[in-house]
Chain A
């Protein structure tokens, strides 16, 4: 059973370009969370999705950021018109069902975005 797969592992973009980060959850998991980690900091929640639905996007910046989790295929975190402040590690985590008391999340290795 493969773990959470994120790609690419490293992504370099110039200011103004678009960044697309992909996340395939563990088999059997239908809940996906995205977190951002700035250098020397802890992770900050961005968005929580189930298949075809955004459940909680309270941590998403209001502009330029969007996320989706289609019926088929990976979850995508899209950042339009990237700026240097978007440089960070972006982690995806999946979980079988948050309503279970044990909401243990399984993390991918992350995508490290560098904006030049």
Chain B
């Protein structure tokens, strides 16, 4: 299976703390993306990092990518209760037959307590 893994599966922190989620994948990738899913809703795109990039920032989000280890991390700084959601990494693999489909990890459920 190309499906990646994320850890932790669940994370509970206090408002104001930082949250770090990790993602590992199995194949060579074109890019890696992080999505957020609020309970019972669709996915919202957060950030994309290309395979030739090592770090990317967007507001309170910081993503790193280590292609040698086939892993990525998402850091949310100064968390807020509104950040409570499930977070998924998704990869677009590199190579022939690439149709842009996303391969998702299992997700990390983040709870931020006010």
Question: A interface vs B, CB < 8 Å?
Answer: 4, 31, 33, 35, 41-45, 48, 55-56, 59, 91, 93, 95, 98-99, 101-110
Contact A107-B44, Cβ < 8 Å, known A42-B106, A101-B30, A101-B50: yes
Contact B50–A105 (Cβ < 8 Å): no
A/B interface sample: 12 pairs, CB < 8 A: A35-B102, A42-B3, A43-B88, A45-B102, A56-B97, A91-B42, A93-B43, A98-B100, A101-B30, A101-B31, A103-B100, A104-B48
Nearest 9 pairs of A and B residues by beta carbon: A98-B100, A42-B104, A107-B42, A103-B100, A56-B99, A107-B43, A109-B42, A45-B101, A43-B104
Residues in B with CB closer than 8 Å to A48 are: 99-101
A50 to chain B, nearest CB (A): 10
Identify the B interface with A (CB < 8 A): 3, 30-31, 33, 35, 41-45, 48, 50, 88, 90, 92, 97-107
Cβ-closest chain B residue relative to A99: B100
Question: Closest CB of chain A to B105's CB: distance in Å?
Answer: 6
CB neighbours (8 Å) of A59 from chain B are 101
Known: A48-B100, A108-B42. 19 other contacts (CB 8 A): A4-B42, A33-B100, A41-B106, A42-B105, A43-B90, A45-B101, A59-B101, A91-B42, A93-B43, A101-B30, A101-B31, A102-B48, A103-B31, A103-B92, A104-B33, A105-B102, A109-B41, A109-B42, A110-B42
Q: How far is the CA of A34 from the CA of B1 in the complex (A)?
A: 18
Give the residues in chain B near A95, CB-CB below 8 Å.
Answer: 100
Contact among A42, A44, A105 with B107 in the assembled complex (CB-CB below 8 Å): A42
- With A42-B88, A55-B99, A101-B50 already in contact, the answer to whether A106 and B45 are too (CB < 8 A) is yes
If A101-B50, A104-B45, A107-B42 touch, whether A45 touches B31 (CB-CB below 8 Å) is no
Of A44, A45, A55, A56, the most chain B CB neighbours within 10 A belong to A45
Chain A residues whose C-beta falls within 8 Å of the C-beta of B103 in the assembled complex: 45
Q: How far is the CA of A51 from the CA of B92 in the complex (A)?
A: 22
Contact A105 B45 (CB under 8 A): yes
Q: Across the two chains, which residue of chain A brings its CB closest to B33? A: A104
Q: Are A91 and B99 in contact (CB under 8 A)?
A: no
